[in-house]
Structure 1
Amino acid sequence: MSACPVSDAFPFPGSSYHGPAPHYARLRTEQPVVRVRTAGGVDAWLVTRYEDVRAALADPRLSRAETCRPGAPRIGGSMTTTPEMIISLDGAEHTRLRKLVVGAFTTRRVERMRPGVQKVADELLDDMADRGGPVDLVQRLTVPLPLTVIGELLGVPREDLRQFETHARAFATVDDRAGGAESLAGLAKLNEYIVGLIADKRAEPTGDMLSDLIAARDHDDRLSEQELVTFGFTLIGAGFDTTANQLANSVLALVAGHRDQWRALVEDPGRIPDAVEELLRHVNLFATDTSGFPRMAVEDLEIGGVRIAAGEPVLLSLASANRDPSVFDDPDRLDLSRGRNPHISFGHGIHYCLGKQLGRMEMEIALAGLVRRFPDLRLAVPESELPWHTGEINHTLTSLPVTWGA
């Protein structure tokens, strides 16, 4: 690597859903681009300032595909991917696959989905009300809402959703310290399931996105069979786990640590769209404080005045960038009335999240339903007793017991 001393071992201690590790504040000021020794034993460059992270996300000299090639260095805390996944591709191949589905996630088309999403949310909230508190919000709302929505978008039968959830969450909540065995097992189960689902939809198309992709494969030969299978489970897996975690962590932040902000939403639900943007910025999703998807330099470049040599891995801390005081006033404060909010929680550049509008809408509908139906929502157990998944990708609540009323 380029001549520069290695900083502390990465990931840094102290990261939580409340925010990135405290070490990032010093790095942004003193060493905004720094070498770190990762949990996988590989040295990498860590980028921490907003301006640098945003520019790097859009820089074609930083490759996702190179990190997935055979023999590429394994960086601890990075998401398990395969070379065929859209998040693993660069350039023309990425563009070709993205064009096949981008039309399904336009703002206009997502808005047409709003009544259906609202119906699913209302049914889940009705069930919560009928049961009475305490209930597990993860089990009753934050997982089934995005899971059902993405399942209906892609034509997954409702009776299969719970089975699919088990495999998809095992894949998404990889724990590198266990060798990734659970994640790989989930990936295998997802692959098996999607192969069967594709066979069913090839025999009897149902007008959903997966049926459209099959038609593209069979009629225009734009997808290989493996691409079709991989794209199917990538979209379904990515379509609910991130939203489920973000929603659960956001509700926890409001009802446990920021009751004043929760009460403000109860009094004025019209503030919820702005609140969602601030929660996306402030609530830290990533356990390593990075996106979980490293890049590899394919040619020499500079980031923040530091020379990165071709072949060196680069980690981009979205969580740190979202707390950069040069962009956000008082960045460590959760302020649901914050105006300008150019957070990069959905990324930037060619891998900018396709489902950003759908994720926003689901969060808006879920929060609006909760503040309207359960204005005195609160934790049913001390926050210190909440169970968290111990993997190295997301801060994932495995249960969120809440209650309301007397």
Structure 2
Amino acid sequence: MTVTQETTPQETAPQGGGCPVAGVFPFSGSSYRGPAPAYGSLRAEQPVVKVPTAGGVDAWLVTRYEDVRRLSADPRLSRAQACGEGAPRVGGTMHTTPEMIISLDAPEHSRLRKLVAGAFTMRRVERMRENVQRVTDELLDDMEAKTAAGDGGGVVDLVQQLAVPLPLTVIGELLGVPAKDLRDFEQWARAFATVDDRAGGEESLHALGKLSEYIVGLVADKRAQPTDDMLSELIAARDEGDRLSEAELVTFGFTLIGAGFDTTANQLANSVLALLADHRDQWDLLVEDTSRIPRAVEELLRHVNLFATDTSGFPRIAAEDVEVGGVTIPKGDAVLLSLASANRDPEVFDDPDRLDLGRERNPHISFGHGMHYCLGKHLGRMEMEVAIEGLVRRFPDLRLAVPESELPWHEGEINHTLTSLPVVRGS
């Protein structure tokens, strides 16, 4: 996953005058706690506004919930044109290749989605819950042993102990990666999830090549000898005689690793950090009653900001003139939809900047909306539920082992990514 290099922020006024924007997009001030402060003013005064970006191309930024939701499902905004040759380079956004499902428009997107959707149904995901619980319990058993032994003062890195290995193991099992290959697979997948313009050194690119080579071989093995895993199911998928090609299967494997591993790991780590650092009272509510966890996960998905750019990271291009919020976006212009801003819209969410794990009305769009909504949303939710339930049940007195200001973050990623989260038991 790559992200364009940011330029030096400067004072800039968006087209149309009015509310000034401090710096180019992505704006400064974004964190896991929430989107940059500029979004509140933009929602109120200029909800659809043209802003300069770090890539040197101006783009239309949409910040209100209803507008973001509507445009997310508008076929006139093209993902394919944003990924094609000669497409404008919008700084701070993810570079996806044209063949990835997130890069396609209808009818190509509809064809692929129809072929793979059966592997991600809620019923199929629920059948996986027992296995996800097993993996989580094993990881937490190891965590409990480490904290009890007191080695290193009983400090455990929750990123390395749970947030990364849980989704990575689940994705490995979904793809049918043999147990003997999981260690190598883990190393290559982590490299794939962290390669970007500033961190893409030779070692990382070598690992990326090894992962690509491995997935090609895995697809060939599963075609020859199918097993009970999602990759075998995708190989066998048919729709009126249509099927996924070899290239599509390999590309989908990469997509599954990036979306199903990296984003889940980051969301889990950031959510636990939010609870331990700022909202201990909310953590204690979950300790008191774990039946609150499903609703809590929805609120954490809304409130905890995953995207470092405050958007989904995927720009679109207007294939024709599009009117929204009283503004006409001309054909050919780039468009950015801020999911983080939409999730803080006071017209939709009461007291939107407050984390309320008991929030009843919560129509967040953290998984997107429309034809590009996240296929793995049921799996991501379920992994979050199982992991957080295990933590609050087995480690009710968990706390940060270092001041929050000392926590290391990975720079240059599309997501807010903790490189470690040291935690310890006790008051």
TM-score (norm. length: structure 1): 0.94
Q: Alignment length, in residue pairs?
A: 404
The residue matched to 1:91 in structure 2 has which SS? coil
2:392 partner letter:
V
Note if contact 1:11-1:38 (Cα within 8 Å) is conserved in structure 2. Answer: yes
Which residue does the alignment assign to 2:113?
Answer: 98
- Aligned twin of 2:68: 53
2:159 aligns with 138
Query: Hey, what does 1:117 align to over in structure 2?
Result: 132
- 1:64 matched to 2:79? The reply is yes
Superposed displacement of residue 3, structure 1: 7.0
**Structure 2 counterpart of 1:279, one-letter code:** L
Q: Tell me how far apart the structure 1 counterparts of residues 95 and 114 of structure 2 sit (CA, whole Å).
A: 24
Pairing 1:24-35 to 2, within 5 Å after superposition: 24-35=39-50
What are the within-5 Å matches in structure 2 for residues 3-402 of structure 1?
4=16, 7=21, 8-132=23-147, 133-177=154-198, 187-216=208-237, 220=241, 222-402=243-423
CA-to-aligned-CA distance 1:225-255 (integer Å, 9 cap, x gap): 2212111221232111111100000000001
Deviation (angstroms), 1:90: 0.9
Instruction: Note if contact 1:19-1:282 (Cα within 8 Å) is conserved in structure 2.
Output: yes
Q: Does the 8 Å contact 1:134/1:402 carry over to 2? A: yes
SS of 2:60 mapped into structure 1 = strand
| Gap change, CA 1:328 and 1:181, over 3 Å in 2 | farther
Partner of 1:140, secondary structure, is helix
Q: 1:14 to 1:325 in 2, by over 3 A?
A: same
CA contact (8 A) 2:15 2:49 kept: no
Deviation at 1:183, TM superposition (A): 7.7
One-letter amino acid of the structure 2 residue matched with residue 381 of structure 1: V
% identity of equivalent residues:
78
Residues 172 and 183, structure 1, Cα contact 8 Å, conserved in 2:
no
| 2:86 maps to amino acid | G
Instruction: Report the Cα offset of residue 220 of structure 1.
Output: 4.7
Q: Could you say if the C-alpha distance between residues 43 and 174 of structure 1 is closer, same or farther in structure 2, counting changes exceeding 3 Å?
A: farther
Whole-Å separation in 1 of the counterparts to 2:127 and 2:339: 30
TM-score (norm: length of structure 2): 0.90
Gaps of 5+ in 1: none
Q: Structure 1 residues 329 and 181 mapped into 2: Cα distance closer, same or farther (>3 Å)?
A: farther
Aligned-pair CA distance for 1:159: 3.3
Question: C-alpha distance in 1, partners of 2:199/2:169?
Answer: 30
Rounded to whole Å, the distance in 1 between the matches of 2:204 and 2:16 is 34
Report if aligned partners of 2:400, 2:424 keep a CA contact under 8 Å in 1: yes
Alpha-carbon contact 1:171-1:185 (below 8 Å) kept:
no
In 1, Cα distance between the equivalents of 2:243 and 2:317?
27
| SS of equivalent to 2:418 | coil
